[in-house]
């Protein structure tokens, strides 16, 4: 099935280029919702997209990382 509706935690990590620890942090704080499917934890693609849209935009500051 090409257009999956949900992602495993590993797939979600790959999709947004972060580690499992960071995903668990988002789950534990309630920022990213997840579902249980048997023993598996899954994240709906739509929930991941909503989560990403709530993140703050990057703003370069004087003396910051790019200087």
Task: Give yes or no for residue 3 having a pLDDT over 80.
Answer: yes
Dump pLDDT digits (tens) for 7-58. Answer: 999 999 999 999 999 999 999 999 999 999 999 999 999 999 999 999 998 8
pLDDT of residue 32: 97
DSSP code per residue over 1-58 = --S-SEEEHHHHHHHHT--HHHHHHHHHTTSS--EEETTEEEEEHHHHHHHHHTSPPP
pLDDT of residue 61: 75
CA gap 15, 42 in Å, rounded: 13
Which of these, 20, 2, 1, lies nearest to 10 by C-alpha position?
20
The domain spans of the chain are: 6-49
């Amino acid at each position: 099935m090409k257009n999956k509706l949900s992602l495993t935690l590993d797939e979600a990590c790959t999709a947004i280029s972060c580690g499992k620890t960071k995903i668990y942090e988002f789950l534990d704080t309630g920022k990213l919702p997840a579902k249980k499917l048997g023993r598996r934890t899954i994240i709906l693609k739509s929930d991941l997209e909503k989560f990403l849209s709530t993140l703050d935009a990057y703003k370069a500051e004087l003396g910051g990382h790019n200087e």
